[in-house]
Amino acid sequence: AQSVTQLDSHVSVSEGTPVLLRCNYSSSYSPSLFWYVQHPNKGLQLLLKYTSAATLVKGINGFEAEFKKSETSFHLTKPSAHMSDAAEYFCVVIRAGSYQLTFGKGTKLSVIP
Amino acid sequence: NAGVTQTPKFQVLKTGQSMTLQCAQDMNHEYMSWYRQDPGMGLRLIHYSVGAGITDQGEVPNGYNVSRSTTEDFPLRLLSAAPSQTSVYFCASSYGSSGNTIYFGEGSWLTVV
């Protein structure tokens, strides 16, 4: 079985300050992990993915995430928030050899001017 | 290359009506799936298919039917719509399992009154 816990349902930051969105996972086998972003009334866009290569993964729009097996975490960070980052973010896990994704419940990021 | 195409984008149904959400992909992906998104719930898997002629149930299959007669198409049928099926529906596809990127459609907003 696998599960994903996004520790914050809502995060609010000021423009230009760092962003941290937290994700813990549970998986019986070596997982692949993803972060997706969803802007209001839009589909899901892949930000980045971890697939057992480098533990620090760089994605689009300045986001990155670090896979920490000992902590079963895959937190998403960005050094400086931009207004366009306001959206909902989903952490997703899929175990090796599987097709089925397990989504976290999402973290809504608000960026204050 | 259109990616994953979902139709319709918006639909209002009366309780008891049936309808089909269409999903097509032009990337020759073997895996296709349907999710529903509800506030605070993330995305939950309804049905999935690992190839033409093969389908299986996900986490929330009740009230939905699928078929996969071709690699490209994976329609989702609501047999007798209920207000509880008011949701946003996403179709997804990928080539292979685990670490391969999953591509999502733009979503279908369905309201059952």
**Average pLDDT for residues A22-49, to the nearest whole number?**
89
pLDDT number for residue A14: 97
Q: Is B28 on the interface with A (CB under 8 A)?
A: no
The better pLDDT of the pair B98, A75 is held by A75
Cβ contact, residue pair B42, A99, below 8 Å: no
Per-residue pLDDT tens listing for chain B (113 residues): 569 999 999 999 999 999 999 999 999 999 999 999 998 888 999 999 999 999 999 999 999 999 999 999 999 999 999 999 999 999 999 887 666 788 999 999 999 99
Q: How many CB atoms lie within 10 A of CB A10?
A: 10
Cβ contact, residue pair B99, A52, below 8 Å: yes
Cβ contact, residue pair A49, B97, below 8 Å: no
DSSP state letter for B102: P
**Average pLDDT for residues A78-107, to the nearest whole number?**
90
pLDDT number for residue B99: 65
The better pLDDT of the pair A96, B59 is held by B59
| Contacts for A101 with CB less than 8 Å, ≥ 6 apart | A34, A92, A93, A94, B33, B43, B45, B92, B102
pLDDT number for residue A63: 97
pLDDT number for residue A31: 84
pLDDT number for residue B27: 92
| Contacts for A105 with CB less than 8 Å, ≥ 6 apart | A6, A9, B40, B41, B42
| Contacts for B36 with CB less than 8 Å, ≥ 6 apart | B43, B44, B46, B60, B85, B87, B88, B89, B90
pLDDT number for residue A94: 85
Task: Give the pLDDT band of residue A99 (cuts 50, 70, 90).
Answer: confident
Picking from A9, A36, A99, the nearest residue to B97 by CB comes out as: A99
Task: Give the pLDDT band of residue A43 (cuts 50, 70, 90).
Answer: confident
Q: Is B89 on the interface with A (CB under 8 A)?
A: no
Picking from A46, A90, A95, the nearest residue to B42 by CB comes out as: A90
**Average pLDDT for residues A16-20, to the nearest whole number?**
98
Q: Measuring CA to CA, how many Å separate A24 from each of A52, A90, A105, B113?
A: 16, 12, 12, 37
Provide, as residue numbers in chain B, all residues whose Cβ is less than 8 Å from the Cβ of A105: 40-42
pLDDT of residue A111 exceeding 70, the answer is yes
pLDDT number for residue B98: 65
Query: Which of B31, B88, B97 is most worth mutating to test chain A (most A CB atoms within 10 A of its CB)?
Result: B97
Cβ contact, residue pair A103, B44, below 8 Å: yes
